Amino acid sequence: MRYLSQIFQPLITIPKGAKLKNTDITCKSQKLLLECGLIRPTSAGLFTILPLARRAIDKLENLIHKCLEHVNAQRMSLPSLTSARLWERSGRLDQVGAELLMVQDRHNKQYLLAPTHEEAVTELMADVGPLSYKQLPLLIYQISNKYRDELRPKHGLLRAREFQMLDLYGVHADEASAASVYDDVTGVYRRLFDSLHLPVHRVSAPPGEMGGSVSHEWQLPAAAGEDTVAVCPSCSHVSLRGPCQRCGSETTTLNSIEVGHTFVLGTRYSECLQARCTPPDSNPTPLVMSCYGIGITRLLAGSIEHLSSETSIRWPAPIAPYTALVIGPKEGSKEWLSHNPERVRGVSQLITDALGDEEVIIDDRHHLTIGKRLMLADRMGYPYIIVCGRSSTDTPPKYELYRSNSGHEEPGPLLLELSPLLEHIKQSQPKLFNKCINSFYVLLFLWKRFVLLFQCMIHLVLSDHHRP
């Protein structure tokens, strides 16, 4: 069992208009993350991720690993340093130049702290190639720290110089395979955002400096966002700008945060870096590649930006650092007699059994009043807060249950005896979401089998037709 008094969480209060390490506090996720002791700046655009935020990120990463398992993506790790020579060969060294953090080793060899790894992955494919078409399609990914020398880092984790990113790369024999895998992976990304209850829009976008044919931005509406999306009031279609491409209506412009970007890159990198595969009956051809990025730390800050009030954090329930916080009585109070720390621990253990391991934490700062601790807990946004308050001296005891989950603000707590309380908590969202994810994959699997069967039938009919 974890106790809040032992958690390293340096709370601070930031006065209005104050600066921290010479950086302006410009948006609520930045302010709340700092005040609640979740992050700490080291210099402009660089942050230490403190234990509770690290837990939230770990949970997000675990969700991602589970999702990517469904498309058979394999995890790996590339070095953070990429040879500058490689970026020269792809032509991006000049293109991205100013935003790259460069490093020189003792032999005067130039490296860059990579903001992304298309070159590195493509060179890997060239190095082991030419690949047989039988090895393809291949999906490989990593979650690692990336670097971008932002001119003006701002909004805390939303525009930092070092950030965590999921980058997934698809390697294909041809365009058709790339397109089909693109649909599968973006489908999985869709489910990931849905499972976090975030209205992330997939918006067609120009590929820009990345190159390639198809690209989508994944945009989360939030006031602090530096991008905008155009939402159609009649058909809900979302585009980057202009009147609705689907029905022609005028659109409403919303600020939004780009939390992901996906591309079919085509042969943009494989041609210049000579990464090829061998089709069954012809000479080696350049690989067709795709890439799929999600900014992990940006998604975390973006979801807080989207869900929170000015004064209280709200998390997507599946990634809250702890799902439930239990507040015991103040030392020496009437409730203290019925609910001493040992008894509170017993109640918390039962809640742990209902929620799963490591999801419950006890606020054991008994010298603070319940009201003060409840205020702090609300600010941290634990999805469930259980208080052993006045009614915990009843026979049988009753507990106050506060649910501070996204979008369901309630006027007061529920007052419940222990077993209805546990029952209530058991029906927590993450489990529901797992069911919904699983049925999605079953349907996807059945659909793919159906398509395969259909293709076989067509093939049989055609080969019949051609028989002399």
CB of 235 to Zn ion, least distance (A): 3
Nearer Cβ to Zn ion (48/234): 234
DSSP 291-350: EEEEEHHHHHHHHHHHH--SSS----GGG-S-SEEEEPPPTTSHHHHHS-HHHHHHHHHH
Nearer Cβ to Zn ion (145/249): 249
Nearer Cβ to Zn ion (239/297): 239
Asked whether the beta carbons of 316 and 200 are under 8 A apart, the reply is: no
CB of 236 to Zn ion, least distance (A): 7
Nearer Cβ to Zn ion (247/452): 247
CB of 184 to Zn ion, least distance (A): 27
Nearer Cβ to Zn ion (244/327): 244
Of 404, 370, 359, the C-alpha closest to 384 is 404
Stretch that binds Zn ion, among 80-88, 89-97, 142-150, 224-232 (CB under 5 A): 224-232
Per the DSSP assignment, residues forming a β-bridge with 39 are 49
456 scored as a contact of Zn ion (CB under 5 A): no
- Phi, psi torsion values for 214, nearest 5 degrees: -115, 140
Q: How many residues bind Zn ion (CB under 5 A)?
A: 8
Per-residue burial over 392-431, b if 16 or more Cβ lie within 10 Å, else e, is bbeeebbbbbbbbbbeeeeeebebbeeeebbeebeebbbe
DSSP structural state of residue 159: B
Answer for which of 40, 54, 197, 237 binds Zn ion (CB under 5 A) is: 237
CB of 257 to Zn ion, least distance (A): 23
235 scored as a contact of Zn ion (CB under 5 A): yes
309 scored as a contact of Zn ion (CB under 5 A): no
CB of 256 to Zn ion, least distance (A): 18
Per-residue burial over 98-129, b if 16 or more Cβ lie within 10 Å, else e, is eebeeeeeeeeeebbbbbbbbbbbbbbbbeeb
* Binding track over 240-259 against Zn ion, x by CB under 5 A: ----x-xx-x----------
Nearer Cβ to Zn ion (234/309): 234
Site residues for Zn ion per CB under 5 A: 232, 234-235, 237, 244, 246-247, 249
